[in-house]
A and B are shown apart, each in its own frame.
Chain A
Amino acid sequence: MKWATRAGCHVDRAACAWLIRRWLDPEAQFIFVDDPADVPQDATPFDMRGAALSHREGRCSFETFLVHYELADPVLAEVGRIVHEADLADERYDAPEAPGLDALIRGLALVRGDPEVLAITGSLFDGLYELLRQRPSPPELSMSP
């Protein structure tokens, strides 16, 4: 499938592209456009004004993907909270990883083009996912006294 987004990828688009490749469409082809009107007919737009897969009701685009495709993996939800704070920094979540992730990807985008940014951040998100997956999870909240 073809997927279209705005050129000049930052954390939210990079995270969406990783999610698409790894969880939805391993053969995904990405097209970068400057204006929503330039999205080809056969491509699915994301993280753009007017697209369904975009910022919605206070969520970043990555979180919208999780809702839209019903990806209920709690590790992906945690990645979503980090991406949200790296993108919006509105302090809806406590995500200490977010400012670092924001700095790394913002800097990367200064020295590399979009395809390379997506390739490198793909590995970064693979690693972040694995780190969070291996993190010991807290025991379930106990209801007994």
Chain B
Amino acid sequence: MQAAQRWVLLAYRLPREPSTPRIALWRRLRQLGAVQLLDGLVGLPLDAHTREQLEWLAEGIQEAGGGATIWLAEPAGRGHGDALVDEVRTDRSAEFRAVAAAAERAWEEAPMTRRRTLARLRRELRRIRARDYFGAPGRAEAEAAVEALAAAIEVDA
């Protein structure tokens, strides 16, 4: 049997005001592709990088007057773990599909605009790939759509 996916969890509470630290935390968790298990409990697939990032966030929460603890966990039942993995994959797939759709729409744009769109989509793809922990479906399609746009721009130039 395949070993269960292990997770690093951040349990936290943060005062509602001021809102700046809360917003910064949410923004960072979204960048990392964290899943929300409960209010004040988020998780990422465990590796040295994700663990370290959540540890720094925990420190930041304490600096902001909140409380935070870090846990290493594995699901007691396979179903719980699978559901979490599915959630991460579904979220990433939606992001990849959005990039592919934007790349297809960009064919309608004027050449200068299209060039800027290409640069933006490449950056966006890089961000999504960095949090694509389980090889979500749609990645290859998104990459192909963006690179097709790049090739078209070269032909135009």
- A: which residues have CB within 8 A of B? 8, 10, 49, 54-58, 88-90, 99
Considering only CB atoms, which chain A residue lies closest to B31 in the complex? A90
Could you say which of A8, A54, A90 contacts B48, with CB atoms under 8 Å apart?
A: A8
- Interface flags, B13-57, vs A, CB<8A=1, else 0: 000000000001000100100000000000000001100010110
Q: How far is the CB of B11 from chain A (nearest CB, A)?
A: 15
The range of chain B's interface size is 10 to 19
- CB pair B31–A57 under 8 Å, yes or no, is no
Report yes or no: A55 in contact with B59, Cβ–Cβ below 8 A: yes
B83 at the A interface (CB under 8 A): no
Chain A contacts for B155, CB-based, 8 A = none
Decide: B59 and A54 in contact? CB cutoff 8 A. yes
Which residues of chain A are within 8 angstroms of B28 by Cβ–Cβ distance? 90
Given A10-B48, A54-B59; 14 other pairs, CB 8 A cutoff:
A8-B48, A10-B49, A49-B58, A49-B59, A55-B56, A55-B60, A56-B63, A57-B63, A58-B60, A89-B31, A89-B127, A89-B130, A90-B28, A90-B31
Least CB distance from B81 to A in Å reads 25
Distance between Cα atoms of A55 and B61 in the complex (Å): 12
**Contact, CB under 8 Å: B55 / A99:** no
- Inter-chain CA distance A10–B49, complex, in Å, is 9
User: How far is A79 from B24 in the complex, measured between Cα atoms in Å?
Assistant: 24
Contacts of B60 in A (CB 8 A): 55, 57-58
Q: Which residues of B lie under 8 Å from residue A10 when comparing CB positions?
A: 48-49
A55 to B28, CA, bound (A): 14
